[in-house]
Amino acid sequence: MKVAIIVFPGSNCDHDVYYVFKKILGQDTNFVWHKDVHLDDYQIIVLPGGFSYGDYLRCGAISRFSPIMKEVIHQAKKGIKIIGICNGFQILTESGLLPGALLKNDNQKFVCKTVNLKVENNSTAFTHLCRPGEILRIPVAHGEGNYYCDHETLKRIQESGQIVFKYATPDGEINADANPNGSLYNIAGIINEEGNILGMMPHPERRSEKILGHNEGRKILQSMIENFSGN
């Protein structure tokens, strides 16, 4: 499996996710600069976290116009697996590859802590190694992670199983106290209708080794590598 880590000016989680795919999961992993335009040799594309272009205008709004994004969109249409983490999730929504938008946190503050994620859909290429309803302890670090979409979009992604992760209590209860940013319906991660693109605000790469205290995040990245037969 060959993995491309897209690097934008301001990316700062690129080395973290590179380390997990390369050193922990043993994959052929490469950094790809945002001005490059070729991704044909890759089976996995990662848009990492950080502050691309300093998060000017809106988070991800400038990165959406980087040369590499035309190729990312092209590969997305071919069914290549793509994951956008934090700032990468923001870029995916700005690019129209995922529905909705990421707004400023409802408390207007940067949130940096470990949260509980409930696996709402484990029948995806990103979660098939997880149990239904499993609680994953994963860190968040963002100022604009408040997921929003209109009513019709929310209804559609609910009915089609596109909501993959929700913020929850340790016992799996979905409530406002477990929501770190005011995200609609406690949404923490979604996939596209075709199922080959995942956007999530929490950072699975930061919980992929037991030395870090938890390694549940590894299940998400490992799921992308292992064979998956969807419905």
Q: Are 49 and 12 in contact (CB under 8 A)?
A: yes
Residue in 34, 128, 142, 203 annotated catalytic = 203
Assign residue 170 a region: left if phi > 0, alpha if psi is -120 to 50, beta otherwise?
A: alpha
Q: How far apart are CA 91 and CA 79, in angstroms?
A: 18
Q: Are 200 and 164 in contact (CB under 8 A)?
A: yes
Q: Are 161 and 55 in contact (CB under 8 A)?
A: no
Q: Which amino acid is at 169?
A: T
The answer to whether residue 203 is catalytic is yes
DSSP assignment string, 16-53: HHHHIIIIIS--EEEEEETT----TT-SEEEE--B-GG
List all residues 6 or more positions away from 89 whose beta carbon is below 8 Å from its beta carbon.
47, 98, 102, 189, 199, 200, 201
Q: Are 165 and 216 in contact (CB under 8 A)?
A: no
Residue in 71, 94, 144, 205 annotated catalytic = 205
Residue in 13, 59, 86, 130 annotated catalytic = 86
Which residue numbers are catalytic? 86, 203, 205
